[in-house]
Structure 1
Amino acid sequence: MTTEVSRTPAPPAVLDTPPPPRWAVWAAHAVPLIALPSTLWRLAMTAGVPVGYSEEVLRTDYGLPGTGYLILPLISLAQEGAALLTLGLVRDWGLVAPRRLPFIGGRPVRTGAAVTAALLGALVMTAVTVSQLLLWDTVDQGNLTGTHRTVMGWLYAPLLLWGPLLALVTLSYALRRRSRR
């Protein structure tokens, strides 16, 4: 006795939209990867790995021990979750909302809403990371020095690419969605 799996046909939004270019797929997959080093730094700090801060700085600035055990991992999860949303711009779930989502499941994603949200995210990420780069000489002045400061800088530096990569992937998404009309 064989059981057939019932497959519903793909919605027109998926069928009518051309596939993303290879560079856009690569860029979308790069975003979560460039967010990962700073996430790992934060999680290492939470786990008690010596990252160069004194116990006093960990306690007063990062809430460790204490609320930092909750807040720092939540920041890390939120960061990676936001980075993973970039994949929606090159995957089918960026064209039609997954059925498991309440209220919007199975409906086509509005191009304008997706593009606006993604461009706003790209703008915010670019503004935040560039402003932090410009302030780097004053960040943690005296609290983190030498090798630890250099390591932290190299782990956070890839975030400078997040905004521009997201903007490029968003442009590709917008052009693909516009070409199906």
Structure 2
Amino acid sequence: MNFTSSLRNKKAKTNGYGWSSWIGYAAMLWSALYGTLHLYWLLGGAGYPFKNEGMGLFSAMVTYLPAKVGGIVFVTLCLIAIGLGLVMQKRQLKDFSRWVAIAYICGFSVALLLFIPDTTLIAAMAYAFLFKFDFNWQMVNQIFCIIGALFWMMSAVVYQRKARHACEYCGRTNDGEAPALIRWGRWLTIIAAVAPLPYAFIRFSWALDIPLGVDPQFLKDFSSANPMARMTEWVFGSICIVGGVLTLGLIQKWGEVFPGWFPFIGGKRVPIMFAVIPASIIAIAVTAAGFVFTFGIIVEALHLVSMDNILLSQGWGAMGPMIFWVPWGVALGLAAIAYYYRRRGRCSSCGRG
């Protein structure tokens, strides 16, 4: 072992790999807490959060499970995750077993992100711009599940890095090869910036009283029933446009250094997490809502389930643009990761840059 490698190893042990040293334990603690909650609900406790309250196929996927079945499923999933987490902390598994463990953890995380959140999260974020706030226990539960999904995803990343003898904190190896995601960052960012435009275009047309893609009577009735309807359409459309422009900052110079005309901070470097955290939050909310919308649209289009949903009956303009939400959210999330990889500096644990 040469002097540089020895220095890196010593520094890594001193720093404890940062978040990578505790994320696995945080994920197991989350599973223990959430599994206990579901055991409480399974035994008849109050507050079961998964309810299909008139939202039809546009509610969370998990709401179609009976409460007792849902409780058994979640208690089992959490117990398995804790068991795998303990094994992953203590020893290295053989190749097949390692991939089985990683596949389970990733599948568990994706299920927490896609099957539990519904459309209320993205709606609450949008209506906050109209100073309307509606926060309830169901939304707290969804946020808690998203946190758990992130914990387990990051645990799987750390375990995979450990298996390939990379730095657990940054993922770099001695070959110095840049992550492939960086090469796709520009295209992912462009997709994420363009994907919300159809939704914005529809909203702006309705704000101008143009019944694009819907029955004119539907638009008239909607405007009559809601005095703030036109303002809502302008705000929702504008959020998409502004969000698309800000997304482009992930590949533009002004996304790395604040423009000079910014008061107080002009010319200073943009903190990496200042861009990554908001983009990641929006990506998760949009992807989850888009998954619910897309599932509902496909099921209705194939006549697999008969449902009475006023939006689906009004034409393609009411629900069609939501088809783009899943690629929008996925592209935005990956673009944020690519931005992080591109801008991160030398690792504080292994010293690689």
Would the aligned equivalents of 1:115 and 1:170 in 2 still touch at CA under 8 Å?
yes
The aligned counterpart of 1:6 is: none
Which of 52, 58, 69 is the equivalent residue of 2:223? 58
SS at match of 1:109: coil
How far residue 126 of structure 1 moved from its aligned partner, in angstroms, is 1.5
Alignment: residue pair count: 156
Would the aligned equivalents of 1:31 and 1:84 in 2 still touch at CA under 8 Å?
no
Structure 1 residues 85 and 140: alpha-carbon distance in aligned structure 2, compared to 1, 3 A threshold: farther
The aligned counterpart of 1:46 is: 207
Structure 1 residues 140 and 47: alpha-carbon distance in aligned structure 2, compared to 1, 3 A threshold: farther
The aligned counterpart of 2:195 is: 34
Equivalent-residue separation in structure 2 for 1:59 and 1:151 (angstroms) = 19
How far residue 109 of structure 1 moved from its aligned partner, in angstroms, is 0.9
Gaps of 5+ in 2: 1-180, 301-305, 347-352
Structure with more relative contact order (C-alpha pairs < 8 Å, separation 6 or more): 1
How far residue 164 of structure 1 moved from its aligned partner, in angstroms, is 0.5
The aligned counterpart of 1:24 is: 185
1:164 aligns with 2:330: yes
Considering only aligned residues, what root-mean-square deviation do their CA atoms show, in Å? 2.7
Would the aligned equivalents of 1:57 and 1:143 in 2 still touch at CA under 8 Å?
no
Equivalent-residue separation in structure 1 for 2:257 and 2:248 (angstroms) = 13
The aligned counterpart of 1:142 is: 310
What TM-score do you get using the length of structure 1 for normalisation? 0.72
What TM-score do you get using the length of structure 2 for normalisation? 0.40
1:1-181 to 2 correspondences below 5 Å: 23-50=184-211, 51-52=214-215, 53-54=217-218, 55-60=220-225, 63=226, 66-136=227-297, 141-142=309-310, 144-145=312-313, 148-178=314-344, 181=353
Structure 1 residues 139 and 157: alpha-carbon distance in aligned structure 2, compared to 1, 3 A threshold: farther
Of the two, which has the highest radius of gyration?
2
* CA-to-aligned-CA distance 1:96-126 (integer Å, 9 cap, x gap): 1111112221110111332222212211221
Structure 1 residues 139 and 96: alpha-carbon distance in aligned structure 2, compared to 1, 3 A threshold: farther
How far residue 39 of structure 1 moved from its aligned partner, in angstroms, is 1.1
SS at match of 1:90: coil
* CA-to-aligned-CA distance 1:36-73 (integer Å, 9 cap, x gap): 1111111112222232143323322xx3xx43222211
SS at match of 2:315: helix
Gaps of 5+ in 1: 1-19
* Identity among equivalent pairs (%): 26
Structure 1 residues 129 and 109: alpha-carbon distance in aligned structure 2, compared to 1, 3 A threshold: same
Equivalent-residue separation in structure 1 for 2:287 and 2:265 (angstroms) = 30
* CA-to-aligned-CA distance 1:134-157 (integer Å, 9 cap, x gap): 455599813552xx5334433221
Equivalent-residue separation in structure 1 for 2:184 and 2:210 (angstroms) = 37
